Chain A
Amino acid sequence: MAASEGCGSKHTALYAIHKAAGAKMTEFGGWEMPIEYAGITQEHLAVRNAAGIFDVSHMGEISVRGPRSLDLLQEITSNDVARLQDFQAQYTALMHPQGSAIDDCVVHRLGEDKYFICVNAANTGKDYDWIMAHNRVGAEVQNVSSEYSQLALQGPRAVEILGKVTDFDLASLRYYWCGDAQCCGVNGLLARTGYTGEDGFEFYFPPQDSERVWNTLLEAGRKEGLEPAGLGARNTLRLEAGYPLYGHELDEDTTLLEANLGWICKLDKGEFIGRSILQKQRQEGLRKKLVGFEMLEPGIARDGYAVWIDGESVGRVTSGSPAPFLKKNIGLAFVPPAAAEAGREMTIEIRTRQVRVRQVPLPFYKRPK
């Protein structure tokens, strides 16, 4: 048994609260973050059945403003930013010339030429530099990460709980829309977004108010079964929902099409970085394809394990874990496109064993409507 802890990592404004709550902490993306409180399984089920609250203040925020901000974002992202109305959000990718993602992110349009981008913690500096390197239009680009805490309230009872601490009209806030809202007496940006596969919200607000928002929400949701949840449950939830995690399913060597993100590639919107590669792949085919699988025998596939078909090692697992809600062991892997077919059996090399798995359609879990 060995445990490791990061040193010299950054802390969110809620660090002391997490420690006092007995959270187990881990280094993630340069931050010392809570990985679990009561346990990953319990927190995962709380989010599926009631609600969970996550401190995701490690996430980065980049503001892009000023004339021709839209032109800049159209050039560097794959989705069509022109389709956004004020206070609408969009999942997209910052593009690499190879058709891959520098990062995946959520762009919020706050007004004309006023955008707020939520990016992955570990990529924030790289993303900012990349945006600046392409900023020929002279947009005002700022890394505003230190000005925001971010909490995610996720689960079927999230709307009910949040409704107790805000006057904002939550019923009218649709999925992937946002608004300026006061929650728990604190002004911020409230978005109906998330990374768990459940209904829910993400709230961006000044760090000095973090304890107030956290404590008020936890108290408001006590009867509904709201629980604090860590990055461990966030990972198992996103995996069940089939969402990619940068550094696992996404990196600079994987095109968006290979990672099943064709739906955020708007090739008809005009020129953008990496577009020609994506267009070529659409015509000529992919090098690899991301598939979901479930284990048919005991064992858990982990990131990096080899995938075998007909006695040949043909691919790699990118994420694998028990799925606490589905009660089976699942994972994502890259395989040759010709081998990507729901129902097909493969094996995964777990230490010295070959363990049988079956490809299944994604997502593994879809919340009931």
Chain B
Amino acid sequence: MYPDEFQYTKDHEWLRVDEDIATIGITDHAQKELGDIVYVELPKAGDPVAASESFGTVESVKAVSEVYSPVTGEVTAVNSKLQNQPELLNSDPHGSAWLVRVRLSDPKEIAKLMSAEEYEAYIREDKAH
């Protein structure tokens, strides 16, 4: 379910690093918690993002949720498909529904994120409470 090549945050974002570019999305657990996603608000290419700070919002029918950046850097690409097809976040959160790509300014930040195994343990614990 949770790809091994991704890193994860406690706020339920995932990140995949390819050299100095990180692709960021929300996890399958996050989309399930949100329910039917109907609207996504994202930054523009060139905007700065900072680790643990909100860079956008994902809205389901019932609620709006902030998305927090796992890393610091500059947005290099935004997934424009989500503007017209926000429901992709429900059907393919780890694939075609990525949110943004960011050029890392501090690759060391990645070390603080969770592995797939750690994240799965984290959401199991979350559910138990």
**One of A1, A35, A298 near B39 (C-beta < 8 A):** A298
| Distance in Å: Cβ of A44 to nearest Cβ of chain B | 8
In the complex, A43→B41 CA distance in Å?
26
What is the count of residue pairs linking A and B with beta-carbon distances less than 8 angstroms?
A: 54
**Within 8 Å of chain B (Cβ to Cβ): is A50?**
no
- Contact at B13–A351, with CB atoms within 8 Å? no
A299 within 8 A of B: yes
Residues of B within 8 A of A236 (CB): 61
Binds A, one of B29-37, B70-78, B113-121: B29-37
Task: Tell whether, in the assembled complex, residue A322 and residue B26 are in contact, meaning their CB atoms are under 8 Å apart.
Answer: no
Residues of A within 8 A of B59 (CB): 300
Residues in B whose Cβ lies below 8 Å from that of A300: 38-39, 59, 64
Known contacts A232-B61, A302-B64: does B35 contact A40 (CB below 8 Å)?
yes
Query: Count of A residues near B, CB < 8 Å?
Result: 21
What's the least CB distance linking A237 to chain B, in Å? 11
Residue B108 is within 8 A (CB to CB) of chain A in the complex: no
Q: For residue B47, which residues in chain A have a CB less than 8 angstroms away from its CB?
A: none
Bound Cα distance A3, B123 (Å): 11
Residue in A3, A5, A40, A298 whose beta carbon sits within 8 Å of that of B36 in the complex: A40
- Given A35-B62, A322-B61, also A2-B11 (CB < 8 A): yes
Are B11 and A40 neighbours in the complex by a CB distance under 8 Å? no
Residue-wise, chain A 11-55 has the 8 Å CB interface mask toward B (1 for contact) of 000000000000010000000000110011100000000000000
**A302–B57 Cα gap in the complex (Å)?**
13
Q: Which residues of B contact A324 (CB under 8 A)?
A: 61
Complex contacts, B30 vs chain A, CB 8 Å: 1
- Closest residue on chain A to residue B33 by CB atoms: A3
B61 touches A1 (CB 8 A): no
Nearest 9 Cβ contacts at the A-B interface: A1-B12, A1-B30, A40-B61, A41-B36, A3-B33, A322-B38, A39-B36, A232-B62, A1-B11
Kindly list 14 other residue pairs between chains A and B, CB separation below 8 angstroms, not including A1-B13, A1-B30, A321-B61: A1-B11, A3-B126, A24-B35, A35-B35, A39-B35, A40-B36, A41-B36, A232-B35, A232-B62, A235-B62, A298-B39, A299-B39, A300-B38, A324-B61
